[in-house]
Structure 1
Amino acid sequence: MREGKRLGRVIWAPVGAAVLSGLVIGAAARLLMRGIALAVGGLTGMSLAGTVGILVVFVVLALPAAVTATARPVIMHAGRWVTAALTGLMAARTGVSDAKIIVLADDGQLTPITVLIVAFAAIVVLHGRLAQYLTRRLRTLPESPAEVLPTPDARPV
């Protein structure tokens, strides 16, 4: 029975961590995308389908980092960088599709656009780190509430 719980943690901790980090980083990315649209004076509407799609993509992209969170350091770093590379590639591809708008931006718009792009780069790197951190935390949670609370026999007299 104990082995089954351990196996469940090995499987569910990375999945839960990927979901949590994907939702957090995906939401941050969606807000930054909206910020860039505001900075260039473009359309600022956010559709529910587009937002859900972005969140799902970020959840999936967090899986390599989450799955390798407790592996040997070389594998752990490789998993983190695979997540960062895939997330960065996706972000750059999306940014290139809007490059015409950014290139034609006024000088007053360049500073906010640059700040938002740097923020986007930061969350790309943070994506893998957050997934691995959450995986390690979820794997160390107590198995049941009884492990957290002291038993009546364990109280000092």
Structure 2
Amino acid sequence: MAGMTGRRVVRLLAAAVGGAVVAGVVGGGAARLLMSLITIAAAEESTFTLGGTLGVLMVFAVLAAPAALTATAPAVVRVGGRWVTAALTGFGVASTGFSDGAAIILAPDSRMTLIAVLVVGFGAVVAAHGQIAQYASRRLAGDATRPAAAAPEPALA
């Protein structure tokens, strides 16, 4: 790999960690808000704790790692990283959501449309999760995403 210095590798890894944390906060925060809204829409009492919220943010940050680590790779690898992140996040969201399925099924009929809209919102969060991680990682990496350039050619006078 031409142009891969130790400093550049460290900068890319730091950007990937930062991108995963950003995606964890944004994606996890949106997911936690949607969880609360679904619980309220299902006519249940929302009893979320700070510890639980921090746990969700941390899990979303870890799940963003494949996308964040592939943020500066070629396009095929970037897309693969987003798919892996979406699959892992989607599985986690779906398996957690199905554990609360009884409350949703027993919700008043008048609230089912709202619950459906909120569930679609979860799908949007899952789809955007990897994209957010890659965007944040690339922004944090700055010039480290570009290969080292050759010396500039002298200008003709």
TM exceeding 0.5:
yes
Q: CA deviation at 1:141?
A: 5.9
Corresponding position: 1:58 with 2:66: no
Preserved CA contact (<8 Å) 2:34 2:118: yes
1:86 pairs with one of 85, 88, 112: 88
Preserved CA contact (<8 Å) 2:70 2:77: yes
* Structure 1 unmatched runs, 5+: 143-157
1:103 pairs with one of 105, 109, 120: 105
Q: CA deviation at 1:7?
A: 2.3
CA distance in 2, matches of 1:58, 1:40: 24
Corresponding position: 1:72 with 2:59: no
| Aligned positions, number | 141
Q: CA deviation at 1:8?
A: 2.0
Amino acid at match of 1:37: T
Find the counterpart in structure 1 of residue 27 from structure 2: 25
Please report the TM-score for the alignment, with normalisation by the length of structure 1.
0.85
For residues 98-138 of structure 1, give each alpha carbon's deviation from its aligned partner in whole angstroms, at most 9, with x where no partner exists.
11111122211101100100011001000000001111111
Between the two structures, name the one with larger relative contact order (CA 8 Å, sep ≥ 6).
2
C-alpha root-mean-square deviation of aligned residues, in Å?
1.5
Identical amino acids, percent of aligned pairs: 51
For residues 52-109 of structure 1, give each alpha carbon's deviation from its aligned partner in whole angstroms, at most 9, with x where no partner exists.
1101100000000000111122211111011011111011001110111111222111
2:15 pairs with one of 7, 10, 13: 13
Q: 4+ runs of 1 displaced by more than 6 Å?
A: none
Q: Secondary structure at the match of 1:120?
A: helix
Q: 1:30 to 1:133 in 2, by over 3 A?
A: same
Q: CA deviation at 1:16?
A: 0.4
Preserved CA contact (<8 Å) 2:16 2:65: yes
Preserved CA contact (<8 Å) 2:43 2:108: no
Please report the TM-score for the alignment, with normalisation by the length of structure 2.
0.85
* Structure 2 unmatched runs, 5+: 145-157
Find the counterpart in structure 2 of residue 113 from structure 1: 115
Q: Secondary structure at the match of 1:140?
A: helix
